[in-house]
C-alpha cells in the first residue's frame, strides 16, 4: 500500500532549515544578552556613588569665618565646619558633587536612603555667607535600600590649636541590606599641606 509520506531528502532539508533557524536565533539571543551586559556594566551606580561620597570627605576644607583685613589673607580667621550626628553630617568640602566651588555639603539618612545637598559657602563676590544649606538647594538620592542606617565616627584628627572644630578621622556608614550588615568606611582628609602652609605663613607674618 502506498501511503503519502515525506522522502528522506525532504526530512533532511527540513531538519537543516530548522537547525539553521535555531542556531541563528541562539546566536542573536547571545549577542543581545552581551549587549545588555555591556550596557549594565557601564552603569555601576553604587560604586559611582561610593566614590562621590569618598571624594567629598577627601576634600574637607577650612573656610573664612572672619576678615580682619580684607586685602591680607593672613589676617583672615579660618575654621573648619563639621557638624555630625547619627543620621546627618554637614561639612565644608572642596570637592562637591555638582559644582566646582567650595561648598557646604550635607549627607542625610531618611526613608532608608542617603540624601545629599550642597550650597556654595561663598557668594559670587567671594564674600562669606552663613554656613547653612540654602532652602532652594536640591536634594539628591545617593544610596537606596539602606535599612537601620546610621553614621559612626572614629577618633578626631589632631588639628592645630588655631582650630576648635573636631573632625573625625573616619566616617563609617553602617546599614543592613538583604539581612547582611554593611559598613562603608570613608577617610576624612583635611588638606594638610594647605593648612600647614597657612599656619606657617601666619606665624611668619606675626
Q: Which long-range contacts (CB under 8 A, 24 or more apart) does 27-31 make?
A: none
- Give the one residue of 33, 66, 85, 139 binding other proteins; rule: CB under 8 A: 33
Residue in 47, 49, 57, 58 with CA at minimum distance from that of residue 114: 49
**Angular region, 178: left φ>0, alpha ψ -120 to 50, beta rest:** left
- Give the one residue of 29, 66, 132, 134 binding other proteins; rule: CB under 8 A: 29
Q: Does 162 bind other proteins (CB under 8 A)?
A: no
Looking at residues 35 to 74 of the shown chain, list those that interact with other proteins (rule: CB under 8 A).
36-37, 40-41, 44, 46-47, 50-51, 54
- Nearest residue (CB) to other proteins, 124 versus 192: 192
In angstroms, rounded to a whole number, what is the distance separating the alpha carbons of residues 81 and 76?
Answer: 16
- Nearest residue (CB) to other proteins, 6 versus 29: 29
* Cell numbers for 27: 546566536
In angstroms, rounded to a whole number, what is the distance separating the alpha carbons of residues 185 and 182?
Answer: 10
Residues that bind other proteins (CB under 8 A): 22, 25-26, 29, 33, 36-37, 40-41, 44, 46-47, 50-51, 54, 154, 169-170, 180-187, 193-194, 196-197, 200-201, 204
Amino acid at each position: 500500500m502506498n501511503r503519502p509520506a515525506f522522502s528522506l531528502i525532504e526530512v533532511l532539508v527540513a531538519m537543516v532549515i530548522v537547525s539553521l533557524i535555531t542556531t541563528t536565533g541562539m546566536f542573536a539571543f547571545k549577542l543581545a544578552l552581551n549587549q545588555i551586559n555591556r550596557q549594565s556594566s557601564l552603569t555601576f551606580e553604587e560604586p559611582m556613588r561610593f566614590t562621590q561620597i569618598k571624594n567629598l570627605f577627601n576634600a574637607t576644607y577650612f573656610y573664612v569665618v572672619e576678615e580682619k583685613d580684607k586685602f591680607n589673607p593672613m589676617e583672615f580667621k579660618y575654621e573648619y565646619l563639621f557638624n555630625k550626628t547619627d543620621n546627618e553630617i554637614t561639612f565644608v568640602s572642596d570637592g562637591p558633587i555638582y559644582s566646582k566651588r567650595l561648598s557646604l555639603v550635607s549627607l542625610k539618612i531618611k526613608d532608608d536612603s542617603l540624601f545629599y545637598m550642597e550650597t556654595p559657602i561663598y557668594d559670587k563676590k567671594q564674600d562669606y555667607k552663613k554656613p547653612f544649606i540654602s532652602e532652594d538647594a536640591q536634594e539628591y538620592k545617593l544610596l537606596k535600600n539602606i535599612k537601620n542606617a546610621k553614621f559612626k565616627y572614629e577618633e578626631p584628627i589632631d588639628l592645630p590649636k588655631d582650630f576648635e572644630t573636631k573632625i573625625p578621622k573616619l566616617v563609617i556608614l553602617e546599614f543592613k541590606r538583604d539581612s547582611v550588615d554593611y559598613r562603608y568606611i570613608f577617610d576624612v582628609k583635611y588638606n594638610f599641606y594647605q593648612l600647614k602652609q597657612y599656619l606657617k605663613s601666619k606665624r611668619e607674618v606675626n
